[in-house]
Structures are given as structure tokens and as C-alpha cells.
Amino acid sequence: MAIWVDGDACPVVIKEILFRAAERSKVHVTLVANHALEIPRSRFVSFLQVSSGFDVADNEIVKRLSSGDLVITGDIPLASDAIEKGATALSSRGELFTRENIRGRLNMRDFLDTLRSTGVPTVGPPPLNHRDRQLFANHLDRWLAEYISKNQP
């Protein structure tokens, strides 16, 4: 099992949590982005740079992930694809995407896209706060605990 990170939009503070978790749990974390990212020297953290273009990083993550992996993304279609492949999807705000809630999230995303395309202004998400970081860390810890329990002799 591995953790795949949609690196283009992942906040630095979330990356730092992931880097520490990778070292602590010895689980592999791969950041995928279409621009260079700095990562720590670690045998558990890697970076995959893809060409620029619409959904290139997302498509690469979907192609490489396996059932049981964790995908860190705020991209709803990527989260949906990950769930379809048997992975867990978690936003950097700590929202766990599931089979039960992903359809509603996709519908809301499409609705907001339609509004924006007709010229209706919409607001983006608020800045990441302490509660978001804590919720993310809690979900990550639960996933890691499950990962470790499955991989202990």
C-alpha cells in the first residue's frame, strides 16, 4: 500500500504532515505534479513530475494506484476514480471521500461549474485552519494504523 498525493494543490503544511508520517510508519508517499516540488531526502518519499496539461497528474495517479492505497486530493473526480479502484480518498482539509458521499460531491461540483460558466460568481474554500489540519491528521493516522496492522507479521 502507498500514499499518492495530488501535489499541485496540496498545502505545504499537509505535505509536512505526510513526510513525517512516511518516516514514522515507513509507508511510501509519492507526490505527483506537473511542476518541480521540493521533498525531503527519504527512502519513503518520492516525487513524480508529469507533463503539464489538463488532468495529467490525476490520470497518472489513477493509473499507478492500487486497491488499498490512499490518495490525497481536493479534486473530486480524482477522488471518485480512486474510490472506484478500491483506494481511500482524503482531502487536505480532512474530508474523507466515500462511496456514500462522492456522488453528491460530484453533483455539487458540476452545479458550481455550471454557475461559473454562466457568469455567476462563486467563492472558493476558506483558508486551511487548525481544525482542518487536525481532521486530516486524524484520518491519516487511522489509515496508517490499519495499514500497519495489515502488514505486521
Gap between the Cα atoms of 110 and 134, Å rounded: 28
pLDDT digits (tens, 9 = 90+) for 36-58: 999 999 999 999 999 998 889 99
Quote the CA–CA distance of 92 and 133 in Å, as a whole number. 7
Q: Can you give the pTM of this predicted structure? A: 0.87
How is the beta sheet containing 70-72 ordered, strand by strand? 45-49, 28-33, 2-6, 70-72, 88-90, 96-97
| Residue-range domain boundaries for the chain | 2-151
Per residue in 60-98, pLDDT (tens digit) is 999 999 999 999 998 999 999 999 999 999 999 999 999
The CATH classification of domain 2-151, taken from the options 3.30.110, 3.40.50, 1.10.287, 3.30.70: 3.40.50
Asked if residue 71 lies in contact with residue 92, where contact means CB atoms within 8 angstroms, the answer is no
